[in-house]
């Protein structure tokens, strides 16, 4: 047993004071108090836990309206881990509270075994970076749904998601502006939202016709050649 005060524990473990206090309150590191009230941290108790993997399930939906889906994910994932982290937010938002908490634990050296229903629950883009951070201390991400589509399908799904997010944000911005000033009816007729939605409908139509690949020629796009 190696007991040290907070300052030396911070230096030895590379953690912030607040993180170390939180781990002490959670019981992740053993602490004893001296007669004067000073807390001494048992470094061996914490470093010993770092050699074990901690199973954590991660569930995410994009909006509050999808909370029933979130609960279905939680129920499904609970079979694989007792601790479940929930997030409500876009897969393009890397400031999600639950995701950042897991990454902080990995950066601090905790070996996490993160269980997710599918890869896009973690992130729409940047999966490899998140996976690298989790693997660095000896953790892993377990994906239960391992179905992988073609490169064209994956690219199309990513594009559709980006367009959907863009459309939602533009709609929210236009709705806000409409409460401030009256819009030009000519400009609103050719709004960015409508153009994006038209493009999405065109992509979906092409996918239905082709089945697997996106056939969208230059002539079909309506753009003039140089």
Q: What is the CATH number of the domain that holds 114?
A: 3.40.50.1390
30, 64: one domain? no
Q: Does any domain span residue 90?
A: yes
pLDDT confidence tier of residue 80, bands split at 50, 70 and 90: very high
16, 89: one domain? no
Bridge partners, 47 (sequence order)? none
Q: Does any domain span residue 32?
A: yes
Task: Find the mean pLDDT for residues 199-209.
Answer: 64
Domain termination residue (choose one: 79, 113, 143): 143
Angle between the N-to-C axes of helices 127-135 and 97-107, in degrees from 0 to 180, rounded to the nearest 10: 40
58, 95: one domain? yes
78, 138: one domain? yes
20, 69: one domain? no
61, 25: one domain? no
Domain termination residue (choose one: 124, 143, 162): 143
Its domain, for residue 121, covers: 54-143
**Which sequence positions are flagged as catalytic?**
62
61, 135: one domain? yes
Angle between the N-to-C axes of helices 151-178 and 192-210, in degrees from 0 to 180, rounded to the nearest 10: 160
Number of domains in the chain: 2
64, 126: one domain? yes
Q: Does any domain span residue 139?
A: yes
Question: What is the per-residue pLDDT across 173-196, written as a single tens digit (0 to 9) for each?
Answer: 555 555 544 443 433 444 555 555
Greatest pairwise CA separation for the chain in angstroms: 84
Question: What is the per-residue pLDDT across 94-144, written as a single tens digit (0 to 9) for each?
Answer: 899 999 999 998 988 788 999 999 888 998 788 899 999 999 888 999 999
Task: Find the mean pLDDT for residues 60-83.
Answer: 90
Q: From 91, 142, 92, 75, select the one nearest 115 (Cα to Cα).
A: 142
Q: Does any domain span residue 171?
A: no
């Amino acid at each position: 047993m190696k007991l040290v005060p907070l300052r030396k524990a911070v230096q030895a473990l590379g953690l912030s004071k607040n993180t170390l206090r939180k781990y002490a309150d959670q019981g992740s590191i053993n602490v004893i108090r001296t007669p004067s009230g000073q807390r001494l941290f048992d470094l061996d108790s914490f470093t010993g836990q770092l050699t074990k993997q901690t199973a954590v399930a991660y569930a995410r939906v994009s909006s509050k309206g999808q909370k029933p889906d979130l609960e279905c994910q939680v129920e499904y994932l609970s079979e694989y881990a007792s601790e479940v982290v929930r997030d409500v937010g876009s897969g393009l938002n890397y400031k999600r509270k639950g995701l950042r908490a897991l990454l902080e634990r990995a950066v601090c050296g905790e070996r996490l075994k993160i269980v997710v229903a599918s890869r896009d629950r973690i992130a729409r883009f940047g999966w490899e970076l998140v996976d690298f951070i989790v693997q660095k201390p000896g953790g892993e991400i377990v994906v239960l749904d391992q179905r992988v589509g073609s490169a064209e399908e994956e690219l199309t799904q990513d594009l559709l998601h980006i367009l959907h997010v863009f459309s939602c944000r533009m709609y929210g911005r236009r709705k806000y502006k409409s409460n401030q000033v009256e819009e030009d009816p000519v400009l609103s007729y050719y709004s960015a939202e409508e153009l994006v939605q038209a493009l999405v409908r065109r992509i979906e139509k092409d996918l239905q016709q082709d089945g697997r690949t996106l056939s969208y020629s230059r002539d079909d796009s309506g753009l003039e050649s140089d």
